[in-house]
Amino acid sequence: MKMLITIIVLTALSGIGGTGIGAALSTTVRKGSDKAMSLLLSFASGTMISIVCLDLFHDALETGMSKGGIAVFVIIGFLTVYLLERVMDQKAEQAKSRMSRKMMTAGVAMMVAVACHNIPVGMTIGASLVSHGSLIGSPALTLAIFIGIHNVPEGMAICAPLLAAGMSKGRAVLLTALSGAAIIVGGVLGYWIGDMGQMGLAISLSFASGAMLYVNFGEILPEANALYRGKMPAFFTVLGILLGMMFMHAH
């Protein structure tokens, strides 16, 4: 029960906290530094990639599941988030083409999209914590922090069209923050599946790893490169990978 509460608190801070901060920023800041955001996202992505490859994959292999089996569930996790995003992108495009309430609809579509892909992302935190048995020595806290950072621009993207549609600042921030609550569901699922035994843990870790790899290679890094076209994002990604490697080596 103590571990379950820890997962709920971690995922809530990462999901609700990250999107809530992004929403709050969107009400006060017109345009931040694209370069700074690009470098921050690149660094966070590198760290998460390192954790997935050096820790989550390793723990999945330690369960005894075959490499082929792990690869299958990684691909399933990757494709699940990809398909969810494709469906919600189509909804958002339809919303943009409407003349009536297009900003409100776009904001709601973004909210649902973030909520959907936060579920498998949350599984990464839950599965990681279960595989290590405690928060100390687990990368779950690091994952929660950097997923929270990733949720900041998403919170801004959700809140901006809601504000443009005329919604009050308080309500827009509250609704945006609540869209991040879905990550708690993912965290609990990761905990529940991972606690079912070695096979359940392997499936949970593999699926969550695939989901996290898509978030990084399909969302974070393309967004970082779009914000700033220089070579610095690549450098900060490598720095993030090295930090993740040192974190893994430390325990």
* Residue 169: per-residue pLDDT: 87
Number of H helices, E strands in the chain: 12, 0
**Segment 9-32, tens digit of pLDDT:** 989 999 899 889 988 987 875 555
With CA atoms as reference, report the closest residue to 249 among 50, 43, 10, 49. 50
3-state helix, strand, coil in the chain (%, to 5): 85, 0, 15
d(CA 159, CA 23): 5
Assess whether pLDDT exceeds 70 at residue 102.
no
- Give the mean model confidence (pLDDT) for residues 128-139: 73
Contact of 207 with 71, CB cutoff 8 Å: no
**Segment 189-236, tens digit of pLDDT:** 888 887 777 888 788 888 888 888 888 898 778 888 888 888 999 999
Residue 171 CA to its chain's centroid (Å):
23
Contact of 152 with 18, CB cutoff 8 Å: yes
Q: Which residue has the higher pLDDT, 182 or 249?
A: 182
- Of all residues in the chain, the percent with pLDDT exceeding 70 is 80
d(CA 122, CA 215): 12
- Of all residues in the chain, the percent with pLDDT exceeding 90 is 12
- Give the mean model confidence (pLDDT) for residues 149-172: 78
Question: Which tokens go with 168?
Answer: 């009050």
Contact of 32 with 230, CB cutoff 8 Å: no
Question: Mean pLDDT of all residues in the chain?
Answer: 79
* Residue 192: per-residue pLDDT: 83
d(CA 3, CA 61): 23
Confidence band, pLDDT 50/70/90 cuts, at residue 251: very low
* Residue 205: per-residue pLDDT: 82
Q: CA 22, 25, 27 angle in degrees (round to 5)?
A: 115
d(CA 145, CA 119): 16
Model confidence, pTM = 0.64
Structural domain boundaries in the chain: 2-250
Contact of 158 with 16, CB cutoff 8 Å: no
Assess whether pLDDT exceeds 60 at residue 4.
yes
